[in-house]
Structures are given as structure tokens and as C-alpha cells.
Homo-oligomer: A and B are copies of this chain.
């Protein structure tokens, strides 16, 4: 607690006319004109840090995509526009949507949850490795990569030019996602324009698989100490969050439970075109939101406004997103 005792009393003093007149007179003199330097127009690096008990959590910004409002399901265009407007989200040239990854240093392990897009979606994204370096680490120091699912905006960052970016890491993914996305025969039966997604998933994990460092886990399998997989199947068949626990605190790194903070906290029943099974995705979202609100869990979301860390509060028939406050890395609370 910082006390500012000098502020704590109300002062009512007479305005001194002499001070006003002396200073106001100076307004007549125009300041000397000198042109300012060029506008910088650069942005602060895309990382943000906080402690979760003894765990150090670093949010990493991969970039953004501008999504079309037509991707929503089970809602009208009119309702979508109303929900976006109340959160001041622009819909032209598209809804700005973040892609985030999370680096958690547990003391024993350096764990990366999701890896961003690398070169898969153009230059507005693909900055996870760069921001990981800006945050003081090297990709080779990551020993564990946990994938929430095998969509390319989560898995493409595993590789650069066909080589593993996280050269010393073991990669974990739910066995249902591995089975769905990595089976070449199944991919061959998919429509032509969907086959690219399957191919990207296979290419992303290929060097890890070849080195025997890809692990498809099932219910009850242990990952690394302090981390539990949380099934959120629906968005993809094995879509999973990861619950980190330290010092009595919990953070659920939930992947794609919410793609639009403006729409889906208030209306969890609204789905996205990207869902493999949108009905199942809605059920998973409702269950996870209820669990996060009830447990007052920290949440970290891959597509929530960066850093995508915050809490969920139940309100009315839906929920409210309460983002973390920017501040120093604190260990005193």
C-alpha cells in the first residue's frame, strides 16, 4: 500500500488573481514553430508476462486476421452487428482477431501452448518465435509443446522451411486430433479445398514425428508436472485446453473456446464456420465457460484480444470477459 497522505484532505483556497493574470499574459506569445520528427508508427513488442503462483506465464502475439462476419452460425447478421457494436469491434475490413500462444515456465519445464501460423497465413501473422525471443527465450529452450488442436494457426509455427523450430521439444496433441488430421487416407477423401488443412497439419508435425517426439495422448495420460489436459472436443475432434496449477492458482489455456469475445461470451450458443462439429463446440464452450466462471480461473485464449489473459464472469444468460490489467510482474499477491 502506498499512502499519499498529502492528497487526503480537501483544500478550498481562494484563487489568486495575480497568478492567473501573470500566466495568462504569456498566452499571447506564440511558441516558436519547429517541425516534429516523423511519426514512428511502430508497435510495442507482442509479449506480456505474469506470474501464476511459481509459474511464469508469457503471452506471445502471433498476429491478427480480419475475419468476415459471415463465419457465425446460429445468429442473425443483425444480432452479430449489434453485439460487435456494443464492444466497439469494427467489421470492416473484417473483425480484427488475434492469434496468441502461451509460454509457461513451470520451474521444471519450459512449455509452449500452440505455436502460431509461421508462414501459413501471410506477414500479418507468424511472429511467435520473434516475440518469444523478445521475451528473453530461445525456441531451442522449449522442451514441451502442447497443441490445443491441429489447425494451421496453432500448429504451423512448429516448422520453418521444413525444419523443427523447437528443436529440443516433444510435441503433445490429443489422440482424437492426431487421428483426424494426420490420417492421409481420410484426408484424401476430404473435399479438394479442405485437403490443404490436413496437409498443413501433417507438414507441421512431420519432423517431430520422424524424430519420435510427437505424442498423441489419451484421457488420463500425464503430460508435464503441474499441467492437465482438459477435453473441449467439438471445434476439432480432439480440441483440448491445458490447466496449469501453481501456488493455489489455476490458469486454463483454452485454445479456441471463444473466437469472438464480442459475440460468444454474451451468446455462447453462437458457433463458427471453423468448427468441425459446431453443436459439440457449443456444448464444450458452455461447459468450459461455466467451469471458468465458477472456479474463478485465469483463462488464456488463442483468439481473445492480446494478451488474451483474464477472467470470466457469469452475467445474465451469458458471460463477461474481464481482461488482465497490464502491470509489472508481481510475486506479492
Query: Judging by beta carbons under 8 Å apart, are A96 and B175 in contact?
Result: no
Which of B56, B107, B190 is close to A41, meaning CB atoms less than 8 Å apart? Answer: B56
CB of A141 within 8 A of CB of B36, answer yes
Chain A, residues 28-63, CB within 8 Å of chain B (1/0): the string is 010100111101111111111101000010100101
Chain B residues in 8 Å Cβ range of A216 = 19-20, 23-24, 26-27
A274 beta carbon closer than 8 Å to chain B: yes
Known: A16-B179, A44-B48. A274 touches B26 (CB 8 A): no
Chain A residues numbered 128-151 whose CB sits less than 8 Å from any CB in chain B: 134-137, 141, 143-144, 151
Closest B residue to A209 using CB positions: B23
Structural contact, A10 and B136, CB atoms closer than 8 A = no
Q: A15-B237, A36-B143, A64-B328 are in contact. Are A10 and B94 (CB under 8 A)?
A: no
Q: Which listed segment binds B: A74-82, A159-167, A193-201? A: A193-201
A186 contacts B by Cβ under 8 Å = yes
Count identical subunits in the complex.
2
Measured between beta carbons, the chain B residues less than 8 angstroms from A195 are: 6
Cβ distance A156 to chain B, nearest Cβ, rounded Å: 12
Residue of B nearest to A49 (CB): B43
Q: Is A247 an interface residue (CB 8 A)?
A: no
The yes or no answer to A119 lying at the interface (CB within 8 A) is: no
A65 within 8 A of B: yes
| A91-132 residues at the B interface, CB under 8 angstroms | 92-94, 96, 98, 105, 107-110, 121-122, 124
Instruction: Please pick, from B2, B191, B326, the residue contacting A94 in the complex, using a CB distance under 8 A.
Output: B2
- Report if A264 contacts B (CB, 8 A): no
A228 interfacial contact with B, CB 8 Å: no
Q: Are A179 and B36 in contact (CB under 8 A)?
A: no
A93 and B274 contact, Cβ closer than 8 Å, known pairs A19-B178, A40-B136, A215-B27: no
Q: Which of B1, B183, B217, B333 contacts A24 (CB 8 A)?
A: B217
7 contacts between A and B (CB under 8 A): A9-B193, A13-B186, A39-B105, A43-B48, A44-B44, A44-B134, A96-B327
